[in-house]
Structure 1
Amino acid sequence: MKLVISHPPDTFEAQIVSREKRFIIHARDHDGRTFLAHTNNSGSMVGLVREGRKALFSTSSNPNRKLPCTLEAIRVDDMWVGVNTSTPNRMLAAVMRCPSMREEFGLCGYHTFTPEKRSGASRFDGRLEGYGSPTCWLEAKNVTLVEEEVAYFPDAATERGRKHLLELATLAAAGYRAGIFCLVQRTDGRCFAPADFIDPLFAAALYAGIDAGVEVWPYVAHVDEHGIALGERLPLAPRPCCP
């Protein structure tokens, strides 16, 4: 494990009761009191949100927030699964601050990382710049779905994700660098693939992007009660054969 980022301050453990619509979690604390929490994960979180499961919630100090608590991770058997979709962005920023990790990603020629930068009609999660190196555009994805040891993204159809892939492919074809950092926030995946059985259009866009030069960096995250540690890089699963 190479890098560790902490959970937000005042993270605590409680039990899941249910999910309401997409962004609200009903939970119960150790004293049996129920409360509402926010989840920024708009995916299905299939197989994760179940009544009685342990979960980690962070607490915001912002007095203007309607729901001060945010769902960070869910306990599945003996494994924590990180579901906060801002965590990959935090980890990507930590990677870019670490020279040895930039070297591992093949990004030694870059020195300036700027989050949340716009190119054309899209706002990407990051932009890297360096002397003599083409601008590198980056997206970060949170992966929580694993089936038969394959980590899959997405867990729900994503028009926005497909749009970003197409624009990254266009940038790569124009001579820029473009990459997708996929943080697999669970430890039971052995390789990574797009979930063509959930969103075939996204899968087709990812493969087209790879062919255009978009780089894909899937990494395992080891999640516990204290934080998230960056683990090993996963290989890409073999591309399905065309019929």
Structure 2
Amino acid sequence: MSEPLIFYPEGCRRAIFIRRYKRFTVEAMLDGEIVGVHTNNTGSMIGLLREGQEIFISPALNPERKLKWTLEAVLPFGQMIGVNTAVPNKMLQFAFEAGMLPEATGYTTLKREAKVGNSRLDGLFSDDSGELPMLWVECKNVTLVEDDVACFPDAQTERGRKHLTELMDLAAKGDRVALFFFVQRNDGNCFGPADFIDPEYAELFYKALDAGVECWAYEAVLSEIGIGIGRKLPLAACR
């Protein structure tokens, strides 16, 4: 079992989910009181937010923040599923620094939030010697599993389609490019695009693979202490 690379702050708690009533806010019951909890996950989190279920929340590090708690994970059927979308970007860096990302072997530097054109991608790997091509990586958080397949996205994603197009453009110029899908649950045996959610994304995903875009789908190792990186998931056979 992988040791955590990302640690939750002290003071995390389990609470009871009540409802999601704004894009970035859920209500929860904690110690007999209703509290507001911030969520940075703009996806649907389909099947994960059920009234009365347990959720895992962390205290806000900024005492001035209006919402004093952050949604880290949900436990819809006892299994811990991470929903914090800031995690994959952090894991890319920590796994690289820990030597646990074999795809980045030989690279010496990782720049996060690297600008390309009019937008930014989550990571840019470079090699001090200049012998290796630039390696651009976009990170995605995965919380949906259907029929043992970890799937992305869980909602229509124009932004995700834009990222695929940008990665294909970079591949055409000779750079290495990859998608890092971080699956924050442990019941998927392979990874595939969610064509039943966003068929346009799925079609573009396979075009991206044919154009040279790499797919790195890794399973998270979750506990109430923190998050580690586990096995790499193969691509689903169907396309």
State the TM-score bracket (shorter-chain normalisation): over 0.9
2:95 is matched with 95
2:230 is matched with 231
1:159 is matched with 158
User: Which letter does structure 1 place at the counterpart of 2:222?
Assistant: V
1:117-128 aligned within 5 A: 117-128=114-125
2:107 is matched with 110
- How far off is 1:64 after superposition? 3.4
Count how many residue pairs are aligned between Structure 1 and Structure 2: 236
1:62 aligns with 2:62: yes
Residues 3, 228 of structure 2: 8 Å contact kept: yes
User: Which letter does structure 2 place at the counterpart of 1:6?
Assistant: F
Residues 126, 133 of structure 2: 8 Å contact kept: yes
1:46 is matched with 46
SS in 2 for 1:91: helix
User: Which letter does structure 1 place at the counterpart of 2:71?
Assistant: L
Residues 74, 82 of structure 2: 8 Å contact kept: yes
Which deviates the most, 8-17 or 158-167? 8-17
Determine the C-alpha separation between the residues in 2 that align with 1:64 and 1:116.
26
Quick one: percent identity of the two aligned structures? Answer: 49
1:80 is matched with 80
Determine the C-alpha separation between the residues in 2 that align with 1:62 and 1:220.
30
Determine the C-alpha separation between the residues in 2 that align with 1:116 and 1:156.
23
Determine the C-alpha separation between the residues in 2 that align with 1:160 and 1:217.
19
Using the size of structure 2 for normalisation, the TM-score is 0.95
Determine the C-alpha separation between the residues in 2 that align with 1:53 and 1:64.
28
1:175 is matched with 174
Residues 3, 94 of structure 1: 8 Å contact kept: no
Residues 15, 52 of structure 1: 8 Å contact kept: yes
1:23 is matched with 24
Determine the C-alpha separation between the residues in 2 that align with 1:95 and 1:208.
28
Deviations 1:167-193 (A, max 9, x none): 001101210011111111111100100
Determine the C-alpha separation between the residues in 1 that align with 2:61 and 2:48.
27
SS in 2 for 1:222: strand
Give RMSD over aligned pairs: 1.2
- How far off is 1:10 after superposition? 2.5
SS in 1 for 2:80: strand
1:148 is matched with 147
Deviations 1:206-241 (A, max 9, x none): 11111111111111112121111211111000242x
Deviations 1:6-35 (A, max 9, x none): 123322111111111321100011x21110
Residues 3, 229 of structure 1: 8 Å contact kept: yes
1:184 aligns with 2:183: yes
User: Which letter does structure 2 place at the counterpart of 1:129?
Assistant: S
Determine the C-alpha separation between the residues in 2 that align with 1:61 and 1:152.
32
Structure 2: segments with no counterpart, 5+ residues: none
